[in-house]
Chains A and B, each alone.
Chain A
Amino acid sequence: MIGRRLLQIVPVIMLATFVVFGLLQLVPGDIAVTLAGENASDARIVQIRQSYGLDRPFLVQYASWLWNALHLDLSRSYLSNEPVLDQILHRFPTSLLIVGGALTISLVIGIPLGILAATRPGSRLDTTVTSLASLGVALPNFWLAMILVATFALSFHWFPATGAVALGKDPGLALWHATLPSLALAAGGVAEVVRQLRSALIEILSSQYVRTLRAKGLSPASILWKHGLKNVSVTLLTVIGLLVNRLLGATVVVEAVFAIPGMGSLIVHAAIHKDFPVVQGVVLAMVVIVICLNLLIDVLYTILDPRVGLR
């Protein structure tokens, strides 16, 4: 099954990278003119086009890029001349730390709140949690990020306002820097987990077999932990998968607010300056991450619920 799923990955990656490559060709302006600088002669611009292979037909350029990518050569940045793969490997851990932090916060806060709301449906607590969850979904990340910075960085000086530290360099300092960005990203995640968990758990707790369990005299705690949560675990796993995808995308905004040198800021900088190899490389990395994550979740489904076959 895994082999078949891995084979399905190939056309998805090809399609995604082809679409991005095509879109980049539609972007107005000529990177050769930018690279040549002011007062550049036409001959110089032509020479730059040739040296970067920009004068070749679109399909040839794409095929060349794809062939090199298959050999783990994602080309070099037009601007910095650094290997794109090196740039991604340098920046990815920073983004991963923020996304990981946001996911952890989402689950640690979201799961208990979701359970509390689901076990007391219609209560004041449920209403409050549901309202807060709606607020969490509605709050824009960048706005929350700025509020967090203004409060905890600029007023109380508890956390840094900008920047990031590599986890390998100083784990404590890295986590300290990642706290506010993770919190800003996590607001939507907490809300998502609460809403999905509450809704799934209420459905399960009101099902006939739970009623039967109650009639047989099982304690509410036992019903919740042994039967309720086990049954919502598949839903939770789906939410986690979707959440990680969304959090990866949201790093673009949050990294700008916190001046974090991660994948989000890398692709924004590259897109603005038409550094196409970098854009293409980051997109490829994101697609691979999302596909691998989905594959992992599919495998976990089968472990949590053997009825889900590996078809």
Chain B
Amino acid sequence: MGGIIGLDRRGFLALLGSATMTSGAGPALAQAAPRKGGILRVSSPANPSSLDPATGGSGSDHVFLYTMFDTLVAFDYASLRAVPGLAESWSYPEPATLVLNIRPGVLFHDATPCDAAAVKFNLDRNRKDERSNIRSDLETVTDVTVSGPNQVTLKLSQPDTALPLILSDRAGMMCSPKALRERGKDHDRNPVGAGPWKFVRWADAEKIVVTRNEQYWQPGRPYLDGVELSIITEVNTGLRSVIAGQNDFIYFLSPQQKPVIDRSKGLVSVIGPTLYCVQLYLNWGRPPLNDLRVRQALNYGVDREEFNKATMNGLSEPAAITLPTAHWAHDKEMAKYYPYNPDKARALVAEAGYKDGIDLNFVGFSDQRSQQRQEVLMEQYRKVGIRLRFTNGTVAEMSAAFLSDKRGDGLLSAWTGRADPTLTYQLLFGAGAYYNASRVEAVPEIGPALRATRATEDVDGRRQAFARLQRLVTENALLVPLVFQFELDAHSQRVKGYRPNLLGKPKFEDVYLDG
């Protein structure tokens, strides 16, 4: 079994080049044709917040949602470019108008049609319903009209070419309008979508079961008769369940578990790059982090390579900007902006008026891995005169403390990523955005630069717009990206056809069981 612990540069580049790496599986090309049948048993690390795409709020919900909900737009696994989903095509007849052509003949699990009227119902609900957590995703949409039996037209407040990929996320997951009307809030726990599998039951914090949708629109799909997702919050226990053969698949493993997978006979590990970025969020709206020199010192003062080795077993990509190397909008130039330079960091701290060093109060999480990261950072920053202190608690509590209650100068957490990078930048740096603790734009150019990323449909044009936006973010040191964590999954050898995606949230649509 090939291991990539302590990846050297060559190994790392090889991993990025191949986008994913599978060990212990044997030659991929030797796989037989997909077989139909069988139940995939999955160990999942978290109970979903809701099974309604609009009302849920956790990034770990997607793995459950993908089984039951198809999205209007899908994405290419390796590059995250938009590809047809329930919408078989789309166009911008005018810069501020998006037309979606809905695939005819698609049915929800309750046999009602997933047509233009259903799409309008869903989009209106997602952008207006008070229980919707994704209203901001569709904030540029001012009106949705049914312009044909299988066509909807979205009127926009401004040109927005980010929308197709936004519709590959929660906002594009279509629920049955009939079920939503009849079930109300109960749809959170008893959902009806148009995805490859139908909801069967959810035993809270225990198990979610879905079964094959016989009326699925893709011929011959899905391969699996069903998926059983057991909620095992302790990932070591979850991994043991796969080693013992009680489950077939586990995801969201930590890098420290790679040696365990390698030692286990009959287990296949899958590694792939993701958007998941471990980072320091900063509140630049007030002292002391309203001083650019202090923020820059935080970026120069961290040794990301060392952080990767010490906390991630080498299983991550050191991060200097918001998008990883594999992403289509990654900017190579900006990625070199903050090399590790402790002398410069120390000088910047002194220049900012803190001759004896500076004390910063951060908030973080109390789990073991977070505390290990904190210890490494505290030690690294101590050497450049930055004394970090962490107040810890649960993820929900401390995230809310920093992002809502404005406690702390910064937060050590992660960004799970969004399919379209505009949304990532908007949510992290836009004025009033939830993940922007200061709630203000650091520099006035951010707003126009954000709008520019939505203005053109052309990929090269968008890439240039993102480069300009990333330059603003990097030069102003609006956060401290640390590492992009690789997706690490493990499965038994009978699981075939699985491919990780750059979003880092497993989908099982291509999976089949052998034997």
Indicate if the CB atoms of A81 and B189 lie closer than 8 Å: yes
The answer on a CB contact under 8 Å between A44 and B130 is: yes
> Is B213 positioned at the interface, with any CB of A under 8 Å from its CB?
no
Near B by CB (< 8 A), chain A positions 15-42 give 28-30, 33-34, 37-41
**A-binding segment of B192-200, B228-236, B368-376, B456-464:** B228-236
CB neighbours (8 Å) of B404 from chain A are 33
Interface core residue of B205, B233, B234 (most chain A CB under 10 Å): B205
Report how far A227 CA is from B206 CA in the complex, Å. 50
Known: A81-B189, A272-B394. A160 touches B244 (CB 8 A): yes
How far is it, in angstroms, between the C-alpha of A108 and the C-alpha of B147 when the chains are bound? Answer: 76
Q: Does B12 contact A (CB under 8 A)?
A: no
- Cβ-defined contact, A269 with B47, below 8 A: yes
| Bound-state Cα–Cα, A40 to B186, Å | 20
Q: Does A154 belong to the interface (CB within 8 Å)?
A: yes
Chain A positions 77-103 with a Cβ under 8 Å from a chain B Cβ: 77, 79-82, 87, 90
Query: Are B244 and A161 within 8 A (Cβ)?
Result: yes
> When the two chains form their complex, are residues A153 and B393 in contact, meaning their CB atoms are under 8 A apart?
no
Q: Does B245 contact A (CB under 8 A)?
A: yes
Instruction: Establish whether residues B234 and A259, one from each chain, have CB atoms under 8 Å apart when the complex forms.
Output: yes
The verdict on A241 contacting chain B, using a C-beta distance below 8 Å, is no
A279 at the interface (CB under 8 A from B): no
A38, B243: Cβ atoms closer than 8 Å: no
B55 interfacial by beta-carbon distance below 8 Å: yes
Residues of chain B contacted by A285 (CB below 8 angstroms): none
Do residues A157 and B245 form an inter-chain contact, with CB atoms below 8 A?
yes
Majority-rule SS of B interface residues: loop
6 closest residue pairs by CB, A with B: A161-B244, A37-B57, A29-B397, A37-B133, A80-B204, A162-B241
In the bound complex, how far is the Cα of B400 from the Cα of A162, in angstroms? 34
Residue pair B396, A153 in contact (C-beta under 8 Å): no
Contacts A28-B393, A44-B130, A157-B244 known; A162 to B205 CB distance under 8 Å?
no
B133 touches A40 (CB 8 A): yes
B18: interface (CB < 8 Å): no
The 29 listed contacts between A and B (C-beta, < 8 Å) are A29-B393, A29-B400, A33-B400, A37-B55, A38-B57, A39-B133, A47-B130, A79-B204, A81-B186, A81-B188, A81-B189, A154-B240, A154-B243, A154-B244, A157-B244, A160-B244, A161-B237, A161-B244, A162-B238, A256-B233, A256-B234, A257-B237, A258-B237, A259-B234, A259-B237, A261-B203, A266-B205, A269-B47, A273-B396
Cβ < 8 Å to A, chain B residues 141-195: 185-186, 188-189
For residue A90, which residue of chain B has the nearest CB? B203
The answer, yes or no, to whether B434 is at the interface (CB within 8 Å) is yes
Q: How many of chain B's residues touch chain A, expressed as a range? A: 35 or more
Beta-carbon contacts of B412-452 to A below 8 Å, as 1s and 0s? Answer: 00000000000000000000001000000000000000000
What is the bound-complex CA distance between A266 and B393, given in angstroms? 20
Q: B204 near A161 (CB under 8 angstroms)?
A: no
Would A162 and B204 be within 8 Å (CB), given that A39-B434, A269-B233 are in contact? no
* 7 more A-B residue pairs beyond the given contacts A154-B243, A157-B244, A257-B234, with a C-beta to C-beta distance below 8 A: A37-B55, A40-B133, A79-B49, A153-B240, A162-B240, A258-B237, A273-B396
Residues of chain B lying within 8 A (CB to CB) of residue A261: 203, 205-207
Set of chain B residues within 8 Å of A265, measured between Cβ atoms: 205
- A163 within 8 A of partner (CB): yes
Q: Is residue B258 contacting chain A, with contact meaning CB distance below 8 A?
A: no
Q: Tell whether A178 is near chain B: CB-to-CB under 8 Å.
A: no
Interface residues in B367-415 by Cβ distance below 8 A to A read: 393-394, 396-397, 400-401, 404
Judge if B127 is at the interface, Cβ distance under 8 Å. Answer: no
**Taking the complex as formed, is B246 at the interface, i.e. its CB lies under 8 A from any CB of chain A?**
yes
- Complex: chain B residue closest to A177, CB-CB: B246
- Min CB distance B189 to A, Å, is 7
Interface residue from B56, B57, B230 paired with A163 (Cβ < 8 Å): B230
Which A residues lie within 8 Å of B397 (CB)?
A: 28-29
Beyond A30-B400, A153-B240, whether A39 also contacts B230 by CB under 8 A is no
Can you name the residue of chain A whose Cβ is closest to the Cβ of B398? A29
Give the residue name and chain of the B residue nearest to A159 (CB): B244
List of A residues within 8 angstroms of B130 by Cβ: 41, 44, 47
List the A residue with the shortest CB-CB distance to B432.
A39
Chain A residues closer than 8 Å to B185, beta-carbon distance = 81
Partner of B246, one of A77, A160, A273: A160
The answer to whether A163 touches B241, judged by C-beta atoms less than 8 angstroms apart, is yes
**Contacts of B53-72 to chain A: CB distance below 8 A:** 55-57
Give B236 Cβ to nearest chain A Cβ, in Å. Answer: 8
Contact with A along B487-512 (1 / 0, CB 8 A): 00000000000000000000000000
Contact A259/B232 with A28-B393, A34-B400, A269-B47 known, Cβ cut-off 8 Å: yes
- The 0/1 profile, CB within 8 Å of B marked 1, for residues 191-210 of chain A is 00000000000000000000
Report the minimal beta-carbon distance from B139 to chain A, rounded to whole angstroms: 10
Query: How far apart sit A90 and B203, CA to CA, in the bound complex (Å)?
Result: 10
Say whether B135 faces chain A, with CB atoms less than 8 Å apart.
Answer: yes
Q: Give B217-255 interface residues, CB cut-off 8 Å to A.
A: 230, 232-234, 237-238, 240-241, 243-247
Q: Is B257 an interface residue (CB 8 A)?
A: no
Q: Is the CB of B133 within 8 A of A38?
A: yes
Q: Is B290 an interface residue (CB 8 A)?
A: no
**Does A118 reach chain B (CB closer than 8 Å)?**
no
In whole angstroms, what is the CA distance A310 to B186 when docked? 52
Inter-chain contacts of A47 with B (CB < 8 A)? 130
B136 within 8 A of A: yes
Which B residues touch A82, using CB under 8 A? 204
Residue in A closest to B133 when the chains form the complex, CB atoms: A37
> What residues on A are CB-neighbors of B434 within 8 Å?
38-39
Quick one: CB contact mask for B116-138 with A, threshold 8 Å, 1 for yes?
00000000000000100101100
Q: How far is the CB of A60 from chain B (nearest CB, A)?
A: 25
- Whether A39 and B135, one on each chain, are in contact in the complex, defined by CB atoms closer than 8 angstroms, is yes
Q: Is A149 an interface residue (CB 8 A)?
A: yes
> Are A259 and B238 neighbours in the complex by a CB distance under 8 Å?
yes
- Give the distance in Å from the alpha carbon of A160 to the alpha carbon of B240 in the complex: 10
Residue of B nearest to A256 (CB): B234
Residues of A within 8 A of B188 (CB): 81
Kindly report which residue of chain B lies nearest to residue A34, judged by CB atoms. Answer: B396
How far in angstroms is the closest Cβ of chain B from A90?
8
Contact of B230 among A40, A87, A258, A259 (CB under 8 A): A259
Task: Kindly state the separation between the CA atoms of A37 and B401 in the bound complex, as whole angstroms.
Answer: 14
B246 cross-chain contacts in A, Cβ below 8 A: 160-163
List the B residue with the shortest CB-CB distance to A271: B394
Instruction: Name the residue on B nearest A87 (C-beta).
Output: B204
